[in-house]
Chain A
């Protein structure tokens, strides 16, 4: 057996293990049976999706769906959006400050600072959630959306920092020096030169911070107190001893479709940008 065939086999097995659960989940989201199954086919249905918009009568008529609390689910999803709306700007601001400091400030403390800023990303999420809970509890703040925001920001800020650092390292320092040399104040240099250069990286960092906040489970679980988010609510529904309702499969399918669409869109845009860069008018 050649190494090429071994590699092919490995690749096939890898793809199989990665995609089979997703395929099964998508298929079962259209199967009219609860808890979800693919081995037993009870007919095609869209009701696990329609759950989110069907009217109250239809909802009450369904033996499975009427046991679910749609308003609570929507409320938890709203909480997730609120948390993300606070976490994204906070993480961007902190990540930007850290990235500028680490790339533009030549200091002996940089190595230490790097680890201090990135250690929350490596620390177990449980520890972050618990410590946020304990810290804010001591200060008399009840666990809730605020503590979720604080706990998530501690580690999510690391993502923008890494993304922005990579971009800043690609910008020649001479651009900032040139602006300074032309009489600009350091603030103007940052606003007119550094920030526009960072714009694309800021956009990707915002998307990644948003996704990290939306999908975070373990840190949020410990910091949430009585509140709920999209991820913790899905978690609660999945822990149903009688098997989870296929509504979760429907939600999962929607997320996959959105992710694939976003990736395709991003690739297309990048492709177009790359081509636009190449077709420069010929110098005269």
Chain B
């Protein structure tokens, strides 16, 4: 098996009812890459997947797989395989026949395709379940059958539509590792759709963050997490303390931002000009108790113990701030206890004002 590259050139998708699910989008996905599209539900990520697999035609632009334009090609003529969110295993067929289905459709003889199905079931460690039907399997096993079935047709591109969303937490993290291993072993290009940032961050070579039909940022997990390009990306991926403000003074790659809680120094990668409306983002794990650097005084409101970590919630002039601390040393524990919170300018990020993710804590108020 060998992966192929996928290119979207100015692809936009408008449904017959007039709703534009995908705004003109360019994406280059390399051969053999594990590429995730991360975004909230309704952001258009599934529509892109369905366009690549051929169930939806782009309204404008074109989709190339391995350099070949896919326009006019039906789903059954494309070098892609799609793993559906509900897996869509054939309930009346044995696991073996499920996996062999794509080969049967290609006219492969029974003995040969069953042999191939056994190999793939061995790849996902299900060789002893071949005679069962999908309803007799557990959630994780069904998941692996779906992967084996998709890999059986030796796709150049495997498309995965939130395939882990139905699994429980423990199984999900196990399947993440397994998916990553299978991708490495087979070299197939994976395009992985998810709204779960944890999945995207742990598995992907690169991530595209999508919102409202637009790709907001494409980058590695580190880039997306530590240098988000937009307010949406910063608030959707990971948690942040967010303060609304105005650029007060420029200092090379950094700037002073004036907020309701004071004026702070922070990175200004997009070189926003003085007076520009902006957001300040500080990750909870970048917040410390005490100085030096930027400081805010606040009172403890609540303390959530997670075992090795503690989330401390502070109130500062009507704003809630979260500090993520390792559970070592003396930490404030009584509500009302006063503390000084600090963060280094290098750990704080200034981004232009823009829509925030609905899940982000909008603390800002001017």
Residue ranges of A at the interface with B (Cβ–Cβ < 8 Å): 172, 174-175, 177-185, 188, 192-193, 196-197, 277, 280-281, 283-284
A280-B135 in contact given A174-B88, A178-B84 (Cβ < 8 Å) = yes
Q: Which residue of B lies closest to A106 (CB)?
A: B16
Q: What B residues does A184 contact at CB under 8 A?
A: 76, 101-102, 105
Contact yes or no, B136 A192, CB < 8 A: no
Q: Chain A contacts of B86 at CB under 8 A?
A: 172, 174
Q: Which residues of A contact B54 (CB under 8 A)?
A: 181
Identify 5 residue pairs between A and B in the complex whose beta-carbon atoms are under 8 Å apart, listed by A's number: A172-B86, A180-B74, A180-B75, A182-B81, A184-B76
Q: Closest CB-CB distance, A10 to chain B, in whole Å?
A: 43
Decide yes or no: A182 and B136 within 8 Å by CB, A174-B86, A174-B88, A197-B92 being known contacts: no
Give chain B nearest CB distance to A194 CB in angstroms. Answer: 11
What is the CB-to-nearest-CB distance from A172 to chain B, in angstroms, rounded to a whole number? Answer: 6
> Which chain B residues border A172 with CB–CB below 8 Å?
86, 88
Whether the Cβ atoms of B137 and A183 lie closer than 8 Å is no
Known pairs A280-B135, A283-B141; A196 contacts B92 (CB<8 A):
yes
Does B90 lie within 8 Å of A175, measured CB to CB? yes
CB distance B92 to A178 under 8 Å?
Answer: no
**CB-CB nearest 4 A-B residue pairs:** A283-B138, A182-B102, A174-B88, A178-B88
Is chain A's interface secondary structure helix, strand, loop, or mixed overall? helix
Q: Mark B132-152, 1 if CB is under 8 A from A, else 0.
A: 000111110100000001101
A183→B86 CA distance, assembly (Å): 19
Say yes or no: A174 contacts B74, CB within 8 Å: no
User: Which of A177, A185, A192 is the one whose CB lies under 8 Å from B55?
Assistant: A177
What residue in chain A is nearest B77 (Cβ atoms)? Answer: A183
CA distance A193 to B54 in the complex (A): 20
0/1 string, B75-97, CB within 8 A of A gives 1 = 11100111010101110100000
Give every chain B residue within 8 A of A192 (Cβ-Cβ).
90, 101, 104
Closest A residue to B85 using CB positions:
A174
Q: Does B321 contact A (CB under 8 A)?
A: no
Residue-by-residue, is B51-66 near A (CB-CB < 8 Å gives 1, otherwise 0)? 0011100000000000
The minimal Cβ–Cβ distance linking A157 to chain B, given in whole angstroms, is: 26
Within 8 Å by CB of B90, from A179, A188, A281, lies: A179
| B85 → chain A closest CB, angstroms | 8
Question: What 11 new A-B contacts, CB under 8 Å, besides A177-B84, A183-B106, A277-B135?
Answer: A178-B82, A179-B101, A179-B105, A180-B75, A181-B55, A182-B76, A182-B152, A184-B76, A196-B92, A283-B138, A283-B139
Residue of chain A at shortest CB distance from B97: A192
**Interface positions of B from 148 to 191, Cβ below 8 Å from A:** 149-150, 152-153
Q: How far is the CA of A150 from the CA of B159 in the complex (A)?
A: 50
User: In the complex, are the beta carbons of A175 and B141 less than 8 A apart?
Assistant: no
